């Protein structure tokens, strides 16, 4: 029987199946991704990550990302940390910093010691047309824009960190109606490519609590690019300082945005859980 070698990893509880497309020839993944990610009949994960040789001289490796529903997406910040740890642990690189090609461009993770990785996430995208969102106009930013959802008016901020995010401020993320509102905002016509949704509250000038509804996956214990988007929105709204800790259900991420024209930097953990071989059938 044919089998598929895999590694299970997570970043703050946001869990991934990692496939090595450098050492192994892989089957077509689009029809397989949802099957692997299924928590009842597959391995179970929020997303599938595939590492491959780079397709551009500007990067050292390439990472492909598939959601639990099988859709391919541009970027995953928790995933990029796990990808880098996987590449180091498997001997594909010993560099302290590398370039990883994604659908949203080249991202540069840097080793931060003790299974921690720091990632240059680039500049946030604030222009509505490029996020993309139909909220707001011109150069942006989109802050506290009214959005009608199921007869209720929500105040929504939006930013892209290589993938689109909607940020909704609430009194307590733990009491937010995430299961009801998350999919409604994700699939709202205001977001033509769908959107990741964060429910947040700033508890101090240096700390934010967040829950996340990820497009194509549902609630996850963490979202790295979402944490960056939340930090950017909160800084622009003037409620936090330029260096903040984001409290997620699965752990904490440190986010820095030194100035409006600077890159966002995210630092957080990456962990390997186990390895295995998934049966594909056949001879």
Per annotation, catalytic residue among 12, 76, 83, 228: 76
**Residue pair 193/164 in contact by the 8 Å Cβ criterion:** yes
**Angle between the N-to-C axes of helices 77-89 and 224-236, in degrees from 0 to 180, rounded to the nearest 10:** 140
How many Cα neighbours within 13 Å face the side chain of 67?
19
Per annotation, catalytic residue among 12, 82, 223, 228: 223
Active site residue 223: yes
For 198-226, b/e burial (b = at least 16 CB within 10 A) is bbbbbeeeeebbbbbbbbbbbebbbbbbb
Report the relative pairing of strands 116-120 and 105-113 from DSSP bridges: antiparallel
Active site residue 83: no
Active site positions, annotated:
76, 223
């Amino acid at each position: 029987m044919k089998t598929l070698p895999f590694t299970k990893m997570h970043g703050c509880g946001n869990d991934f199946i990692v496939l090595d497309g450098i050492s192994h020839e892989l089957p077509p993944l689009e029809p397989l991704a949802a099957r692997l990610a299924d928590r009842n009949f597959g391995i179970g994960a929020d997303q599938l990550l595939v590492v491959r040789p780079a397709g551009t001289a500007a990067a050292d490796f390439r990472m492909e990302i598939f959601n639990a529903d099988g859709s391919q997406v541009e970027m995953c910040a928790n995933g990029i940390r796990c990808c880098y740890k996987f590449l180091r642990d498997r001997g594909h690189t010993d560099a302290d910093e590398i370039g990883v090609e994604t659908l949203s461009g080249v991202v540069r993770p840097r080793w931060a010691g003790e299974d921690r990785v720091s990632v240059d996430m680039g500049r946030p995208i604030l222009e509505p047309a490029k996020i993309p969102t139909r909220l707001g106009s011109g150069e942006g930013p989109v802050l506290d824009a009214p959005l009608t959802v199921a007869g209720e008016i929500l105040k929504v901020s939006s930013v892209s960190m290589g993938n689109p995010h909607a940020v909704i401020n609430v009194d307590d993320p733990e009491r937010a109606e995430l299961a009801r509102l998350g999919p409604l905002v994700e699939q709202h016509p205001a977001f033509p490519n769908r959107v990741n949704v964060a429910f947040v509250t700033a508890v101090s000038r240096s700390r934010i609590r967040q829950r996340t509804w990820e497009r194509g996956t549902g609630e996850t214990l963490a979202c790295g690019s979402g944490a960056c988007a939340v930090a950017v929105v909160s800084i622009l709204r003037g409620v936090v300082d330029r260096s903040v800790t984001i409290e997620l259900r699965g752990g904490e991420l440190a986010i820095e945005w030194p100035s409006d024209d600077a890159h966002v930097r995210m630092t957080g953990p990456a962990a390997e859980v186990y390895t295995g071989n998934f049966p594909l059938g056949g001879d």
